[in-house]
Amino acid sequence: TQLLEQSPQFLSIQEGENLTVYCNSSSVFSSLQWYRQEPGEGPVLLVTVVTGGEVKKLKRLTFQFGDARKDSSLHITAAQPGDTGLYLCAGAEIGNNRKLIWGLGTSLAVNP
């Protein structure tokens, strides 16, 4: 069974600080997605990375897919209170795009 480990599990920072969230596995994924979930809502897709070494930027968020497609990171620059939420990574198994393998999530709190 493929597993995705996310770290840290919890993160509380002050507005304006930078942070990085990691998503690691010993298995290779065909793609990896990052979602953000707010309380009382379902996860919302932020980005999909497909190519090893790929870097994607979404405003203050930078996503990187590891060269071997086993790990990924999410870096947030100058965090804002609106960035608060649960960040989830999910990997698509090679040869099986039916089911995503989910990490346990990183709960981020950005304090004003």
Partner 1 sequence: GAGVSQSPRYKVAKRGQDVALRCDPISGHVSLFWYQQALGQGPEFLTYFQNEAQLDKSGLPSDRFFAERPEGSVSTLKIQRTQQEDSAVYLCASRPTSGASYEQYFGPGTRLTVT
Chain contacts with partner 1 (rule: CB under 8 A): 6, 31, 33, 40-45, 48, 86, 88, 90, 92, 97-100, 102-105, 107
Q: Of 57 and 99, which has the nearer Cβ to partner 1?
A: 99
Q: Of 31 and 66, which has the nearer Cβ to partner 1?
A: 31
CB of 44 to partner 1, least distance (A): 7
Q: Which residues contact 112 (CB under 8 A, 6 or more apart)?
A: 15, 81
CB of 67 to partner 1, least distance (A): 20
Q: Which runs of E-coded beta strand occur in 1-112?
A: 5-7, 10-14, 19-24, 29-37, 44-49, 55-58, 61-65, 71-76, 85-93, 96-102, 106-111
Backbone angles phi, psi at 83, to 5 degrees: -80, -10
CB of 37 to partner 1, least distance (A): 8
